Structure 1
Amino acid sequence: MSTRFSATTKAVPTGLVLTLAGELDSATAPAANQAVQRLALRDGDQLIVDLTGLTFCDSSGIAALIAARARARGAGATIALAAVPRHLTKVFGLLGLTDLFVVHPTAEHAQQAPAAEH
């Protein structure tokens, strides 16, 4: 288990960007979940989860991403993932989760694209 993890949030014109960096695993998923619960999402916002700095993600981390999706949808917001690491893209495919999230190459691209929800 790891403790090298950070979750930071910034407001952007389309909503919020939640940046997750480091190792998202069973030890750090609770911190990710707490960060998601603290988000001040409003109806019509887009939550962009930027994974540029994510180096590892286990099943607990995937569960945290799914919980973020549920939180966004519950607030009337959309969600998109940005800069999904190749290893996580492969895992999403193996688990049949590829249609669960809209994915963009960068957080900036996600901000410029029309918000879409799967």
Structure 2
Amino acid sequence: MTIEFAVTTRDTASGPVLELSGELDAATAPDALEAVRLLAPSAAQQLLIDLSGLQFCDSSGISVLIAARNVAVAAGAEIALAAVPGYLARTLGMIGLAELFTTYPTTEDARKAWATSASGQ
């Protein structure tokens, strides 16, 4: 059974949020990549990727995460992942990509950490 994929974006004071849910694979990665291409973080912001609804992610999905990181780096912004599923955290660690992303248990944790760092506390 395929879980319907959804990608949504929203702007917040700390920067854009990309929410991915369902199955991120070769069939759905193009939709996610299109959303990534439309993101416009600034140098003073954080691009946050909310993975709380992600049920599956293959190598195509990991490429989407790397593309999002590239968007953030090109803009001089930070990037963070929130609610990374255990299987994906293990995979990122095994392939040596875990250090590319700051991770938080929830989007709220990521927002609080960003607010603290942005205020210089």
After TM superposition, the score normalised by the length of structure 2 is 0.89
Shift in Å at residue 96 of structure 1? 1.2
Kept in 2: contact 1:17–1:107 (CA 8 A): no
Task: Structure 2 unaligned segments of length 5 or more: list them.
Answer: none
- Mapping of residues 1-118 of structure 1, within 5 Å: 4-114=4-114
Larger Rg: 2
Percent identity of paired positions between Structure 1 and Structure 2: 53
Cα deviations across residues 56-102 of structure 1 (Å, max 9, x unaligned)?
00000001100100011111111000000001011111111111100
1-structure distance, mates of 2:26, 2:3: 10
2-structure distance, mates of 1:93, 1:15: 26
- In structure 2, what residue type is equivalent to 1:54? L
1-structure distance, mates of 2:100, 2:41: 19
- In structure 2, what residue type is equivalent to 1:16? P
Residues 3/33 of structure 1: CA separation in 2 closer, same or farther (3 Å cut):
farther
Does the residue aligned with 1:113 lie in a helix, a strand or coil?
Answer: helix
Cα deviations across residues 35-71 of structure 1 (Å, max 9, x unaligned)?
0111122221100000000000000000110010001
Residues 26/4 of structure 1: CA separation in 2 closer, same or farther (3 Å cut):
same
Task: Structure 1 unaligned segments of length 5 or more: list them.
Answer: none
Kindly indicate which of the two structures has a greater share of residues assigned to helix: 2
After TM superposition, the score normalised by the length of structure 1 is 0.91
- In structure 1, what residue type is equivalent to 2:73? R
2-structure distance, mates of 1:99, 1:32: 22
Aligned residues: 115
